[in-house]
Amino acid sequence: MAELRRYRQGGGAPAATLDSVTRQARRLTLTWSDGRTGQFPMMWLRDHCACDQCRHPLTRERLYKLLDDPLWERFDGDDALASFEFGANALTLTWQDGHVSRFDAGWLYQRCPGQELATLLPTPTPWPTRFTPSHVSHADFVDGSDGRSRWANALLRDGLVMLDQGPCELEEVSRIAESIGPMRSTNFGGRFDVRSVPNPNNAAYTAIGLELHTDLPNWRQPPDIQLLYCLENDAEGGESSFADGFAAAETLRAENPEAFRVLSETPIDFRFQDDGHDIAVREPVIDLDGEGRPREIRFNNWIRDTLSLPSDQIEAWYDAYRALWQILRRPEGRVELTLEPGQMVAFDNRRVLHGRNAFDPNTGKRHLQGTYLDLDMLQSHLRVLSR
């Protein structure tokens, strides 16, 4: 259990050593050997004490409750700290109530207030024109070498990655998914078969072409990661295509800011109905984060519901939607490929759109198995692999 690194005080990349510590009103200023300085408010230092009373010795989760600590009242008056001492690699604080907090200097170095904490995860990067996805072999993915982390890194960075030359076995997609996290269930089950069936409840279960789309935009939280594993694909047609919705949104913002504004500020209705379900949500096509960057694309023409807007907004919304759709269709922004039996594509369903050409079920069979995963599980998997 001491191996748990979440809150460990030491370890990590060797950082600079601690050169000086000075005390000001309500904070300590630390300077390291490479010149970095950090101002640490006393209350932050007290809250982050990692002793076995303040963190559970086994789980390393926080036990300390700042609201119940009488010392907290004294941070205003600047006499909460009794004394401190430091060395090149450690800082020790003694508080007025006698509690002692020891910090690893490298741990503090990485957590200077205002400094971005280094992440083990790659930054999502928009596709350049004529982007080609990374490929990892199934053998490298399962054999414990770096295949898994190359796969997860590419998926988090590009929102799309291929896994090649796996076995043509039913449920291989479930085994892969479950080696990462629990499959995310939806009204289509935990794991679904994509093939043409009688009485389909969904366009994917027919042989028609599917325009680029995101799955389940009619859910408040659409699935994050989609895995589609090809078992058979010898019917004529059925080629796959993908487009980076974030890149398309940025292109729209540059070319047609008004259309971008309309699609990001106007919630519209999405709705799926079958015999047992009626799942509906009202959200914009382009969802932005607090800094105005695209966070999610909801684009699915066949389950877009009645456009319910004031009449003076309707034409502008259609113009904007057409403008985004035209960008998505540009060949230079699309990845086109034919899935091979034993090949799996994984993509970020809230960023990357997917589609397929119509296929002719009279010329051969086409069968994919798919499932969804939460992004949290993919990120967790990569962090664990990086330990």
Ligand X SMILES: C[N+](C)(C)CCCC[C@H](N)C(=O)O
Ligand Y SMILES: O=C(O)CCC(=O)C(=O)O
Our CB check for ligand X shows the closer of 127 and 188 to be 188
Apex 21 CA angle, 16 and 25, nearest 5? 135
268 touches ligand Y (CB under 6 A)? no
Choose the contact partner of 188 out of ligand Y, ligand X, none; CB within 5 to 8 A by kind: ligand X
Q: Which residues contact 106 (CB under 8 A, 6 or more apart)?
A: 10, 11, 12, 13, 14, 15, 89
Quote the CA–CA distance of 29 and 288 in Å, as a whole number.
37
Phi, psi of 378 (to 5 degrees): -65, -45
Find the binding residues for ligand Y in span 174-233 (CB under 6 A): 194, 204, 210, 215
Kindly tell me which of 110 and 357 has the beta carbon lying closer to ligand X: 357
Identify which of residues 235 and 303 has a Cβ nearer to ligand X in the complex.
303
Coil, strand, or helix at residue 139?
helix
Work out how close the CB of 368 gets to ligand Y at its nearest, in angstroms, rounded to a whole number: 6
Instruction: Give the Cα separation of 213 and 241 in Å (integer).
Output: 10
Please give the full DSSP string across 369-383, using - where no structure is assigned. Answer: EEEEE-HHHHHHHHH
CB of 205 vs ligand Y, minimal distance in Å: 8
**Given candidates 297, 368, 377, 382, which one binds ligand Y under the rule CB under 6 A?**
368
Question: Rounded CA gap, 146 and 141, in Å?
Answer: 7
Residue nearest ligand X by beta-carbon distance? 188
Q: Which does residue 321 touch among ligand Y, ligand X, none (CB within 5 to 8 A, set by kind)?
A: none
Which partner from the list ligand Y, ligand X, none does 240 bind, CB cut-off 5 to 8 Å by kind? ligand Y
Binds 354: which of ligand Y, ligand X, none (CB < 5-8 Å by kind): ligand Y
Query: Which of 158, 310, 281 has its CA nearest to residue 216?
Result: 281
Query: In the complex with ligand X, which residue's Cβ is closer, 155 or 353?
Result: 353
Q: Which residues pair with 365 in a beta bridge?
A: none
CB of residue 326 to ligand X, shortest distance in Å: 21
What's the closest the beta carbon of residue 72 comes to ligand Y, in angstroms? Answer: 52
203 contacts 302 by C-beta, under 8 angstroms:
yes
Instruction: For residues 334 and 343, give the distance between their C-alpha atoms in angstroms, rounded to a whole number.
Output: 19
Residue 259 structure tokens: 């259309």
Quick one: CA dihedral 330, 301, 263, 241, positive or negative? negative
Chain contacts with ligand X (rule: CB under 6 A): 188, 192, 194, 202, 204, 215-216, 272, 300, 302-303, 370
Of the two residues 81 and 235, which places its CB atom closer to ligand X in the complex? Answer: 235
- Count of alpha carbons within 13 angstroms of residue 192, beta-carbon side: 22
Residue 126 or 238: the one with the smaller Cβ distance to ligand X is: 238
* Least distance in angstroms from the C-beta of 245 to ligand X: 14
Site residues for ligand Y, 338-357, by CB under 6 A, read 354, 356
Report the interface residues with ligand Y, using CB under 6 A.
Answer: 194, 204, 210, 215, 240, 354, 356, 368, 370
